[in-house]
Amino acid sequence: MSVLWWLVTLVKVGVIFGAVLGVVAYMTLAERKVSGHIQLRLGPNRVGPFGLLQPIADGLKLMFKEDIIPDHVDKVIYLLAPAISTVAAFAAYAVIPLGPPTDFFGLLPEPVPLQIADVNIGILYIFALSSMGVYGIVLAGWSSNNKYSLLGGLRSSAQMISYELSLGMSVVGVLMMSGSLSLTRVVEDQAGLWYVFLQPLGFIIFIIAAFAETNRLPFDLPEAEPELVAGYHTEYSSMKFSLFFMSEYAAMFTISAMAVTLYFGGWQGLPGLGTLGIPPVLWFVGKVAFFLFLFLWVRWTLPRFRYDQLMNLGWKVFLPLSLLNVLLTGLGLVLLR
Amino acid sequence: MEQFFFFLFAAGAVISALLVISRRNVMHCALFLVLTFFFVAAIFVLLKAEFLAAVQVLVYAGAIMVLFTFVIFLVHIPRTEKIRQTFRQKNLALALGLLLGLEVAYILYGTMAAPASLPAAAPVGAVGNTESFGVALFTRFLFPFEVVSVLLLAAMIGAIVLAKKEIDR
Amino acid sequence: MSAEVPLSYYLILGALLFIIGAVGVLTRRHALVILMSIELMLNAVNITLVAFSRMQGNLTGQVFSLFIIAVAAAEAAVGLAIVIVLFNSRETLNIDEINLMKW
């Protein structure tokens, strides 16, 4: 733990945090652009070239909005909820490997891993954090003293518990193949073949549960505008509202990075072809970008599920299927060994 | 360094535990309990039990306490905060708690005399490692593991039966 | 990373949390808070077990705390189901008022 180690770690934390903030800001623009083009519109194009400065304008606008704290709210919890949401969404990047160890073209005396911390329980860490994210939403719904918010909070707690089970069980397949909870190891194991080819069922369950876990359409019941007037964040305004927004996009980014790391080889290049001369970090960014686009694409294409359909799907379809996936993986491992 | 963090987490755990049993609002109690669980998880990390720390956060804070908040949603009545929160036996209970504390202190005082510090040379390298944990769980402790899974199944059935009766009525 | 914190400190912490939980069970009238206090006591036991596991240099204590966590989960599931049934039939969670075996 030399001075250099501290310095490098601090720089990594800063760079990754900044990058995530930037991605979150531009995801809002991307969402509006993609939705525009899907609906044969242009999307925002007035602020800056191609609307590229729109996120900054939005951010400024939100910052200068009046910050309202409604009467009869549980003030401490009301203020705490957006903070919990944001912290839980942002802290997950600490363990995601962005690329192989590098010495930055000889700039540093020894190669440093492109990952803030390679903890040996990486996957559990991310799951623990994402289960903390539920609290942000639940507490926001409860403390707002508003029946729509409360309903949103109730829905999200039930939904996230249900789908976290399938999410966790689908990842077990990957863990059984790699034999490690460390995300670095998982990525290194995929040098030959991406796990998505070995775990197609697990991946499908994972990505669908991911949509539910991040409260995105077709599973955005907790906020469902037409029925719940925005659900848990009805009573929030100004930056507190935008914190919820940011944490939603950050959670999307986390889950996309997770999907890439667990199933699509992380920073590895194409199976059999290698990196094709493109830096591994760009491979990672490209794959994550694809998944982020998938999130937007699905949102503007599919209608919303009904709540009972959502619960039935979670408990009666995905949970048994993910258990089946674990069983099949175990069987395969035993038979092929 | 380790002592500093120990005292930080221990103080946090004790203070938030005290708040759990003294706050009037049930939701606040639940949140302070979550906080306590986090501090306990941090203590586990100090004890090199990272896997257990993750499970602690995942299961206790992430699942059990979310269930608690869910139930609080369903049963919370704000006016119950106004009424007296404790039994008449409160003083007796406090006295008993004090007695229990003295008892534990007495027993610990006996062990304090012995060199009770953790042996630095203990083979802790493997301890806390998820892999060795899993091996232990599925070899030496396979039978207790199966028993626990049966227990969980029984609890699940019990909970479903209790909740199901509601719907039929 | 030398072990600077003596084992007894962990035991004292566990004991303190256990006592706080026990006092909570004995004093509070709200059924949910009583359940929470029980969780607190179980957690205190976990600290003790993990500390002993560290001292002995084997995993037995940790494995048993995992079992305790599983038992706590089972207890919470059944306990909360009972709480909900109780609330639906009596509309109170005040343990003082729930004093009949049958109604």
What band does B120 get if pLDDT is binned at 50, 70 and 90? very low
The lowest-confidence range among A123-132, A325-334, C85-94 is C85-94
- Mean of pLDDT over chain A: 81
Q: Which CATH number fits the domain that encloses residue C14?
A: 1.10.287.3510
Q: Which two tokens stand for residue B7?
A: 């005292």
Least Cα distance to A88 among B33, B70, B34 occurs for B34
pLDDT tops 80 at residue A121: no
Backbone angles phi, psi at A81, to 5 degrees: -55, -50
**Strongest mean pLDDT among B113-122, B133-142, C87-96:** B133-142
B108: chain C residues, CB-CB within 8 Å: 8, 11-12, 15
Instruction: Please give the interface size between A and B, counted as residue pairs whose CB atoms are below 8 Å apart.
Output: 67
Domain-terminating residue out of B71, B95, B119: B95
Mean pLDDT of A15-41: 86
CA C83 to CA C48: how far, in whole Å?
Answer: 29
- Whether residue B131 lies within 8 A of chain C, CB to CB, comes out as no
The lowest-confidence range among A221-225, B4-8, B24-28 is A221-225
CA B19 to CA B14: how far, in whole Å?
Answer: 9
- Mean of pLDDT over chain C: 83
Contact C37, B21 (CB under 8 A): yes
Domain-terminating residue out of B54, B73, B95: B95
Does B124 contact C96 at a Cβ distance shorter than 8 Å? Answer: no
pLDDT tops 60 at residue C2: no
What band does B79 get if pLDDT is binned at 50, 70 and 90? low
B162: chain C residues, CB-CB within 8 Å: 78, 81-82, 84-85
The helix-helix angle for A147-178 and A200-213 (nearest 10°) equals 160
How close is the nearest chain B Cα to the Cα of A47, in Å? 42
Range of the domain at C71: 7-90
Q: Give the list of residues 6+ apart from residue A110 with CB closer than 8 angstroms, or none.
A: A103
CA A44 to CA C58: how far, in whole Å?
Answer: 61
- Whether residue B127 lies within 8 A of chain A, CB to CB, comes out as no
Q: Where are the alpha helices (DSSP H) in A144-279?
A: 147-178, 183-189, 195-198, 200-213, 225-228, 238-263
What band does A103 get if pLDDT is binned at 50, 70 and 90? low
CA A169 to CA A175: how far, in whole Å?
Answer: 10
Contact A196, A262 (CB under 8 A): no
Higher-confidence residue of A44 and B114: namely A44
Three-class secondary structure of residue C39 per DSSP: helix
Q: Which helix (H) or strand (E) holds A101?
A: strand A99-102
Given B3, B21, B29, which is nearest C20 (Cβ)?
A: B21
Does B58 contact A128 at a Cβ distance shorter than 8 Å? Answer: yes
A146: chain B residues, CB-CB within 8 Å: none
Question: B residues 65-124 near C, CB within 8 Å?
Answer: 67-68, 71-72, 74-75, 80, 83-87, 89-90, 92-94, 96-97, 100-101, 104-105, 108, 111-112, 116-120, 122-124
pLDDT of B123 reads 45
Contact C77, C13 (CB under 8 A): no
CA B97 to CA A261: how far, in whole Å?
Answer: 50
pLDDT tops 70 at residue B166: no
- Whether residue B129 lies within 8 A of chain A, CB to CB, comes out as yes
Range of the domain at B152: 127-169
pLDDT of B111 reads 66
Do both B7 and B77 map to the same domain?
Answer: yes
Instruction: Please give the interface size between B and C, counted as residue pairs whose CB atoms are below 8 Å apart.
Output: 259
Q: Is B137 inside a domain boundary?
A: yes
Q: Is C34 inside a domain boundary?
A: yes
- Whether residue A165 lies within 8 A of chain B, CB to CB, comes out as no
Contact B68, C36 (CB under 8 A): yes
What band does C1 get if pLDDT is binned at 50, 70 and 90? very low
Q: Which two tokens stand for residue B126?
A: 């493997």
Least Cα distance to A251 among A75, A54, A24, A49 occurs for A24
Of chain A, the percentage scoring pLDDT greater than 90 comes to 1
Q: Is B109 inside a domain boundary?
A: no
Q: Is C77 inside a domain boundary?
A: yes
Q: Is C1 inside a domain boundary?
A: no
CA A249 to CA A268: how far, in whole Å?
Answer: 25
Mean pLDDT of B18-29: 85
Using one digit for the tens of pLDDT, what is the confidence trace for B133-163? Answer: 888 888 888 898 899 999 999 998 988 888 7
Q: Which helix (H) or strand (E) holds C92?
A: none
A157: chain B residues, CB-CB within 8 Å: 66, 69-70, 73
The lowest-confidence range among A72-81, A95-104, B93-102, B156-165 is A95-104
Do both B88 and B133 map to the same domain?
Answer: no
CA A236 to CA A248: how far, in whole Å?
Answer: 15
Using one digit for the tens of pLDDT, what is the confidence trace for A152-195? Answer: 778 877 888 888 888 888 888 888 888 777 788 788 777 777 88
Q: Distances in Å between the alpha carbon of A21 and those of A15, A213, A227, B86?
A: 10, 20, 31, 48
Q: Is B14 inside a domain boundary?
A: yes
Q: Is B118 inside a domain boundary?
A: no
pLDDT tops 80 at residue B58: yes
How close is the nearest chain C Cα to the Cα of B104, in Å? 7
Mean pLDDT of C90-98: 74
Count of domains in chain B?
Answer: 2
pLDDT of A224 reads 64
Do both B146 and B86 map to the same domain?
Answer: no
Does B58 contact A131 at a Cβ distance shorter than 8 Å? Answer: yes
Q: Is C68 inside a domain boundary?
A: yes
CA A268 to CA A248: how far, in whole Å?
Answer: 27
Using one digit for the tens of pLDDT, what is the confidence trace for C10-56? Answer: 888 888 898 888 888 888 878 888 889 999 999 999 998 988 888 87
Of chain A, the percentage scoring pLDDT greater than 70 comes to 92
What band does A196 get if pLDDT is binned at 50, 70 and 90? confident
Q: Is C100 inside a domain boundary?
A: no
Contact B42, B53 (CB under 8 A): yes
The lowest-confidence range among A15-29, A66-80, B8-22 is A66-80
B155: chain C residues, CB-CB within 8 Å: 73-75, 77-78
Is the alpha carbon torsion for B104, B64, B84, A80 positive or negative? positive
pLDDT of A222 reads 66
Q: Is C24 inside a domain boundary?
A: yes
Domain-terminating residue out of B76, B95, B114: B95
Q: Give the list of residues 6+ apart from residue A308 with CB closer than 8 angstroms, or none.
A: none
Count of domains in chain C?
Answer: 1
pLDDT of B36 reads 92
Between the two ends of chain A, the Cα-to-Cα distance in Å is 40
Does C43 contact B111 at a Cβ distance shorter than 8 Å? Answer: no
The helix-helix angle for B2-22 and B26-46 (nearest 10°) equals 160
pLDDT of C42 reads 92
C65: chain B residues, CB-CB within 8 Å: 49, 52
pLDDT of B121 reads 42
Q: Is C26 inside a domain boundary?
A: yes
pLDDT of C45 reads 92
Q: Which helix (H) or strand (E) holds C9?
A: helix C7-27
pLDDT of B164 reads 75
CA C54 to CA C51: how far, in whole Å?
Answer: 5
Does C78 contact B158 at a Cβ distance shorter than 8 Å? Answer: yes
Does C84 contact B128 at a Cβ distance shorter than 8 Å? Answer: no
Given C53, C64, C72, which is nearest B127 (Cβ)?
A: C53
Q: Which CATH number fits the domain that encloses residue B1?
A: 1.20.120.1200
Query: What type of residue sits at position C99?
Result: N
Q: Is B37 inside a domain boundary?
A: yes
Least Cα distance to C44 among C18, C7, C75 occurs for C18
Q: Where are the alpha helices (DSSP H) in B47-141?
A: 50-55, 65-75, 90-113, 130-138
Q: Is B117 inside a domain boundary?
A: no
